[in-house]
């Protein structure tokens, strides 16, 4: 991702926060983990916020930060050719890092369940971004496969033994 796209993401998010009466700096850099792929991380400076503001911006089960991230990705990729689209991850107070650890544990539980019982395992209450993360995490297990079932807002990730 070029520096221009990083700066666009930073500026757009800072402007959104200003519209919410929050003059907060945002750090933009390239980062990635195994499950998140390389993306532009837009990190909101939590030290400039009160605990209440952090709670509001994160939302219940990350709903607000997920919505902000959805807006960032939609707006900044609007009109871009598919090969020019970039993934933006919005981070606040290490929420994404903590959630990644939770998703990893949930994925491990699903793997154990499927391997022990042979039954498929449904993971509910995941955002579309979280489902993508778990799909990516579970690609490492060659004896298992994943797919999504249902329609939003009741879409679920299913883990099962690889079908021959």
Contact between residue 89 and residue 96 where contact means Cβ atoms under 8 Å apart: yes
Is the pLDDT at 32 greater than 70? The verdict is no
Question: Tens of pLDDT along 58-73?
Answer: 999 899 999 999 999 9
First-to-last C-alpha distance (Å) of the chain: 38
Q: Determine whether 142 is exposed, middle or buried from the number of CB atoms within 10 Å of its CB (0-12, 13-18, 19+).
A: exposed
Average model confidence (pLDDT) across the chain: 92
User: Architecture of domain 3-93 in CATH?
Assistant: 2-Layer Sandwich (3.30)
Residue with tokens 């993401």: 9
pTM, two decimal places: 0.81
Q: Token pair for residue 37? A: 């792929």
92 DSSP β-pair partners: 44
Q: Which residue spans of the chain are classified as CATH 3.30.1370.50?
A: 100-161
Joined tokens for residue 38: 């390389």
Q: How far apart are CA 57 and CA 32, in angstroms?
A: 22
- Report H helices in 20-146: 51-58, 63-77, 95-117, 128-138
CATH H superfamily, domain 100-161: R3H-like domain (3.30.1370.50)
Tens-digit pLDDT profile for residues 139-162: 999 999 999 999 988 899 999 999
Q: Tokens for 23?
A: 């003059």
């Amino acid at each position: 991702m070029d520096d221009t796209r990083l700066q666009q993401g930073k500026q757009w998010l800072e402007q959104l926060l200003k519209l919410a009466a929050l003059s907060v700096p945002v750090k933009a850099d390239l980062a990635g983990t195994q499950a998140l792929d390389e993306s532009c991380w837009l990190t909101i400076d939590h030290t400039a916020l009160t605990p209440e503001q952090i709670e509001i911006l994160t939302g219940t089960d990350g709903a607000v930060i997920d919505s902000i991230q959805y807006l960032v990705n939609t707006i900044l990729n609007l009109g871009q050719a598919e090969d020019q689209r970039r993934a933006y991850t919005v981070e606040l107070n290490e929420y994404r890092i903590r959630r990644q650890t939770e998703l990893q544990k949930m994925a491990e539980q699903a793997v154990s369940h499927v391997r022990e019982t042979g039954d498929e395992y449904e993971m509910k209450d995941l955002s579309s971004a979280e489902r993508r993360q778990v799909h990516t995490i579970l690609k490492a297990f060659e004896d298992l496969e994943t797919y999504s079932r249902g329609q939003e807002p009741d879409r679920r990730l299913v883990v099962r033994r690889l079908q021959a």
